[in-house]
Structure 1
Amino acid sequence: MEKLQYALRESWSLKSSSKWSINNPANGQCGVTSLVVNDLLGGEIYKTHLPQGWHFYNVIQGKRYDFTVSQFPIKIVYEDRRTTREEALKDTNKSQYSYLKKRVYERLNIKDINK
């Protein structure tokens, strides 16, 4: 998971979220990140409502993984509401998703068999 976190952090940019900034690279990356993690590791996508809107993350084999939690200055109280890929995609767009997936797969040296 540490390698995946590093690959995500190194791949996030303005091309994966318009909210990205050098001071807060995880900002706005939750939907797109949850989709890429779901592609790689399976599991389920969950969401929690925050003042900023819905926050997406992954649950894999019963364990919560929130790779974008660093974007928030407060501790999150997770509601753990199961959601769908389609809803997470509404938090991003296909271009941002394709970009992040390609970058993360390159950093992890994984060939995408779904191309």
Structure 2
Amino acid sequence: MSSPAHPFATPLDLYRAIARVWSADTSSPTGAWSPSNPAQNHCSITSLVVQDCFGGDILSTKTSGGTHFYNVIHGVKWDLTASQFAEPIPYDDTPSTREATLADTSSEKYRLLKERLAAVV
């Protein structure tokens, strides 16, 4: 049996690591971030990393702040950035694509987040 391409057993393990590397320069838009709300504006970039590690689908929903991205893996919803919201998220589970999700951030921010994540595991 081959080992996985990532060191995370579950999305919760990934959350514990990625929450340590979210920052102003990986948020979308850049700078729309606060250390007191580290998940803020990291939904698209985090959804891409979750899919890299665990497969599954990226979904989106409309919130008062715009489009929010999250994942479904083996039928289970995983939203690693839900904590950025002060109110419940009105999930409508609209299918998204990697391209649409990446369009909400940038390739540069995605690479930067992946590099920082690799450095902490």
**Is the structural similarity TM-score above 0.5?**
yes
Match of 1:61 among 65, 74, 85: 74
Q: Are 2:62 and 2:90, in contact at CA under 8 Å, matched by a contact in 1?
A: no
Written as runs of structure 1 = structure 2, the 5 A alignment for 1:26-45 is 26-45=39-58
Matching residue of 1:14:
24
1:102 equivalenced with 2:84 (yes/no):
no
Matching residue of 2:59:
46
Counterpart residue type for residue 25 of structure 2: K
Q: Deviations over 1:53-110 (max 9, x none)?
A: 10000100011000000000001121001110000011101111001112223323xx
Q: Deviations over 1:7-64 (max 9, x none)?
A: 1100101121122211111110000000011111111000001111100001000110
Q: Where does structure 2 lack aligned partners over 5 or more consecutive residues?
A: 1-10
What secondary structure, in the 3-state scheme, does the structure 2 residue paired with 1:88 have?
helix
User: What is the alpha-carbon distance in structure 1 between the residues aligned to residue 26 and residue 54 of structure 2?
Assistant: 20
User: What is the alpha-carbon distance in structure 2 between the residues aligned to residue 91 and residue 21 of structure 1?
Assistant: 19
Aligned residues: 108
User: What is the alpha-carbon distance in structure 1 between the residues aligned to residue 118 and residue 56 of structure 2?
Assistant: 18
User: What is the alpha-carbon distance in structure 2 between the residues aligned to residue 64 and residue 14 of structure 1?
Assistant: 26
TM-score (norm 1): 0.89
TM-score (norm 2): 0.85
Stretches of 4+ aligned residues off by more than 2 angstroms: 105-108
User: What is the alpha-carbon distance in structure 1 between the residues aligned to residue 35 and residue 119 of structure 2?
Assistant: 21
- Among all aligned residue pairs of Structure 1 and Structure 2, give the percentage whose two residues are the same amino acid: 44
Q: Where does structure 1 lack aligned partners over 5 or more consecutive residues?
A: 109-115
User: What is the alpha-carbon distance in structure 2 between the residues aligned to residue 33 and residue 105 of structure 1?
Assistant: 14
Counterpart residue type for residue 45 of structure 1: I
Computed over aligned residues only, the root mean square deviation of the Cα atoms, in angstroms, reads: 1.0
